[in-house]
Amino acid sequence: MKVMLDDGLRTKALAARGFMPENEGDALFAAAVSVPATVAGPIVEVGSYCGRSTVWLGGAGRLTQRVVYAVDHHMGSEENQPGWEWHEPDLVDPHTGRMDTLPHFRRTMIDAGLTDVVVTVVGDSPTIARTWMNTIAFLFIDGGHGVEPATLDYELWTPHVAQGGLLAIHDVFPDPKDGGRPPYENIYLPALASGKFEEVSATGSLRVLRRL
């Protein structure tokens, strides 16, 4: 029987702002709770935006007794900036004139009651990855979708995934007509080509790979 996020948290996840479809959120949760307890390490999310996907991961962390580290600089990725398709003008801080999703993310975590499970890590993904010292049981990459940020997220974060742990990648579009290519070309394909990962599931644009 498929494990599902409890109804209360699921309602909070679906009410939160973000771009994670319901079926992919459910698949993300199921994958995160499937990691064997013998695999050491926390859950790490790279790219949290306003916390929609983080609620699914927070529920998984609570169920499996793993801490969730949510990494994001909260100033929006390239595709979230003015003039781009995924820009949301009301997320711009009128004082700085820049995107600021942190207050919305914090509100989502508080409303979901997940502040005891989710550690908010505010900063640049490559900077944090370069100083990361521990193995990761479940890594979810959903950060910047440009070539450079996607490449850096792959190169700097995936070496920390523990043997038997899982790597989940969002917005993987093999057909260029469906969406941007970097998560597919610069994370998903290199992971498979490395010989260190094998695919275990695909739901919509979500791919889940196991570290060999």
Q: Classify residue 100 by its DSSP letter.
A: -
Q: Clarify whether 104 is annotated catalytic.
A: no
- CA pair distance 62, 68, nearest whole angstrom: 9
Distance CA 49, CA 102 (A): 8
Label residues 183-199 b or e (16+ Cβ within 10 Å = b): bbbbbbebbeeeebbee
Check 73, 104, 145, 170 and give the catalytic one.
145
Alpha carbon distance 133, 125 (integer Å) = 14
Structural contact between residues 73 and 129, judged by C-beta atoms closer than 8 angstroms: no
Catalytic residue numbers read 145
